[in-house]
Structure 1
Amino acid sequence: MATQLSELETQLEDLRAAGTTAIATSQTLDELEQLRINYLGKKGKVSVVLGGMGKLDPSERPRIGALANDVKKALETGLEDKRTALQRAQLKAQLQSETLDVTMPGVYHSQGRIHPLNGIIDRALDIFVGLGYTVASGPEMETDYYNFEALNTPPDHPARDMQDTFYLPDGNLLRTHTSSVQIRYMEEHQPPIRIVAPGRVYRRDTVDATHAAVFHQIELLAIEEGLQFTDLKGTIKEFLRQMFGDLPVRFRASYFPFTEPSAEVDLQWQGKWLEVLGCGMVDPNVLKAAGYDPEKYTGFAAGFGVERFAMVLHQIDDIRRVYASDLRFLRQF
């Protein structure tokens, strides 16, 4: 038994020496992991040696067990120290090969901006939605009925002049205002209604600093029992207050075929009165065209040009610049 004990002790000490040397000379983490498996794995060299303990006298086994634990601990410590050293060396090599100059200037990524016209539309819609209005939309190619007839505009009205309207070969036309959205909405909904309708409109205007053949309008419509002109004035004043601030506002009598009475609204801006929108009480004929009883319901409507508001708020002297896609100009907004 003494000879068997001595052999096991010698084998364990040899494993300690060989393992320590192999660990010290290993060059990679993969190689180190393979050494761990070879020496300390379930079928590793240390386990193989311990398999011979069954031949020992029971009184001798604790001695071999204690030695085996010492060998395992020595190898585990060596493996951990070597692993740390290899990881540090790997990181150092990586840092040297992937150098980064933190003093170099950064790469500028241009940031998009909201187009000034879209900005006006978004701002106006936010105000009206806050006042309880619903956003509505409709087709840009319209019929004569929705663009004119249902809005109390007879065939001989000047707005139907070929010089003012883009007529299409099939008899339809490009809408000249977003008021057509109001009629379509009224046909599908019963009062009370409150809508705001933004969109592109088309006129046969000569393009200059203040006119365009394609521009944008926003119109609002409110219909219910008992609405009066004072309700219209209060709504318009509140909208303009939120849009422009606390500035003087005046209403001037005017004429629109689809409202009666009608008014144009001026705003005192930088010492001058500027016309900013048109409005009025919905004409009874328009209510009838939508199937509403004008004896029961009243309503008001108003509309304004988005480009006009943009020119005033952003002090743009030529509306053509808004459509020119000149980034030097558009980046100002």
Structure 2
Amino acid sequence: MKERLEALKQEAVAQLKSVADAAQLNDLRVKYLGKKGALTEILRGMGGLSAEERPVIGQVANEVRTAIEDLIEEKQQYFQRLETEERLAAEKVDVTLPGRPLKQGSIHPLNQVIQDIEDIFIGMGYRIAEGPEVETDYYNFEALNLPKNHPARDMQDSFYLTEELLMRTQTSPVQVRTMEAMKGEVPVKVICPGRVYRRDDDDATHSFQFHQIEGLVIGKNIRMSDLKGTLLQFTREMFGQNTQIRLRPSFFPFTEPSVEVDVTCVKCGGNGCRVCKNTGWLEILGSGMVHPRVLEMSGYDPEQYSGFAFGMGVERIAMLKYGVDDIRHFFNNDMRFLGQFARI
């Protein structure tokens, strides 16, 4: 039996040294060391050995098993290294190839317009004020001279959360909060950008959510001429130095007198075209002198102080500035549309 074990060892070593791949190696492992393998078959005959022979044959069998297992392990590691090297060679990156260009992101056109407007008014000495989007009925309406059941509230049909809480319909509440925080001090000179919400129709020029920027100035001897000069400066910075404005009488509960502001058409320069319906003018915002009642409710003596306020829709300004004909383009996240506004 000892001779058979030695012969088996020599045979296994010879075949293992010449094995070609991992699959063949596994077949040889089963052939020699498996449950029905050659070594197991030889060891089944140990029952016929004498007590003196069994330890000797057992030791030889263990030596044969260890030699075969060691060689199999060596070959497995060899094939694993070979497989790794082949995979690395196949997956090798050619560092001499030019890099793949990455598309550069850009600011959303609405954010660009907001930043442009903020820069213009900061340059005129204004500061930026912000407030909550979930607002109380008092700040959104009552403090702006719109008591409950006032018919002008119908123009801002709103999203109410409770009887006293709603999604703000304008950024004017921030003006009221600013005046209260100032506690009667002057000057007040702020702009209030932010999102607002109204139950408007969803069409080419309306959306239930949009952006507003409102402005407020309070001081002594503030006049309508100051408002006009401010808005003329703003429109020329935004639309070009040849831009003209006109003021048309209007009504807003929180200003008196109130005016709508038009600019010369950005397409035809005031000569008349399809965009301005041949009038030469385009409406951009509402404004007026702060109503004495609003001043009084916010802690300012209307006998000593006066002020003006204005409010504009950012989407409206953006549509005019860039010639966009549908407000929904700003919210559809179409990269073909947004990519046109990238500033290199």
Residue segments in structure 1 that go unaligned for 5+ positions in a row: 1-96
- Given that 1:200 and 1:215 are in contact with CA atoms closer than 8 Å, whether structure 2 keeps it comes out as yes
Alignment of 1:49-128 (within 5 A): 100-101=95-96, 104-128=97-121
Is it true that 1:238 corresponds to 2:233 in the alignment?
A: yes
CA distance in structure 2 between the partners assigned to 1:235 and 1:171 by the alignment? 35
Residue 192 of structure 2: SS of its match in structure 1?
A: strand
CA distance in structure 1 between the partners assigned to 2:115 and 2:157 by the alignment? 28
CA distance in structure 2 between the partners assigned to 1:227 and 1:264 by the alignment? 19
CA distance in structure 2 between the partners assigned to 1:224 and 1:322 by the alignment? 37
Is it true that 1:254 corresponds to 2:254 in the alignment?
A: no
Cα displacement string for residues 210-249 of structure 1 (whole angstroms, at most 9, x for unaligned residues)? 0000000000000001100000100010011101012121
Counterpart of 1:306 in structure 2 is 314
Cα displacement string for residues 184-229 of structure 1 (whole angstroms, at most 9, x for unaligned residues)? 0000112111000000000001100000000000000000011000
Residue 340 of structure 2: SS of its match in structure 1?
A: coil
Identity %: 57
- Given that 1:203 and 1:214 are in contact with CA atoms closer than 8 Å, whether structure 2 keeps it comes out as yes
Cα displacement string for residues 95-145 of structure 1 (whole angstroms, at most 9, x for unaligned residues)? xx99743xx343111111010100000000000000000100000111111
Counterpart of 1:331 in structure 2 is 339
Residue 155 of structure 1: SS of its match in structure 2?
A: coil
Residue 282 of structure 1, aligned match among 290, 304, 307: 290
Alignment of 1:197-212 (within 5 A): 197-212=192-207
Is it true that 1:138 corresponds to 2:146 in the alignment?
A: no
CA distance in structure 1 between the partners assigned to 2:309 and 2:224 by the alignment? 10
Deviates more, 1:256-265 or 1:246-255: 246-255
Q: Following TM superposition, where does structure 1 have runs of at least 4 consecutive aligned residues deviating by more than 3 angstroms? A: 97-100
Counterpart of 2:39 in structure 1 is none
Residue 332 of structure 1: SS of its match in structure 2?
A: helix
Is it true that 1:160 corresponds to 2:160 in the alignment?
A: no
Change (3 A) 1:313 1:99: closer
CA distance in structure 1 between the partners assigned to 2:156 and 2:284 by the alignment? 24
CA distance in structure 1 between the partners assigned to 2:151 and 2:234 by the alignment? 31
CA distance in structure 1 between the partners assigned to 2:223 and 2:307 by the alignment? 7
Residue identity in the other structure for 1:112: G
Cα displacement string for residues 241-280 of structure 1 (whole angstroms, at most 9, x for unaligned residues)? 1010121211101010000001000111123311001100
CA distance in structure 2 between the partners assigned to 1:110 and 1:162 by the alignment? 43
Change (3 A) 1:275 1:162: closer
Change (3 A) 1:109 1:151: same
Deviates more, 1:270-279 or 1:316-325: 270-279
Is it true that 1:317 corresponds to 2:312 in the alignment?
A: no
Change (3 A) 1:163 1:145: closer
CA distance in structure 2 between the partners assigned to 1:124 and 1:147 by the alignment? 23
Is it true that 1:179 corresponds to 2:187 in the alignment?
A: no
CA distance in structure 2 between the partners assigned to 1:307 and 1:119 by the alignment? 11
Residue segments in structure 2 that go unaligned for 5+ positions in a row: 1-91, 273-279
Change (3 A) 1:156 1:170: closer
CA distance in structure 2 between the partners assigned to 1:135 and 1:99 by the alignment? 52
Q: CA deviation at 1:328?
A: 1.4
- Given that 1:222 and 1:299 are in contact with CA atoms closer than 8 Å, whether structure 2 keeps it comes out as yes
- Given that 2:250 and 2:258 are in contact with CA atoms closer than 8 Å, whether structure 1 keeps it comes out as yes
Alignment of 1:23-42 (within 5 A): none
Residue identity in the other structure for 1:209: A
CA distance in structure 2 between the partners assigned to 1:250 and 1:99 by the alignment? 65
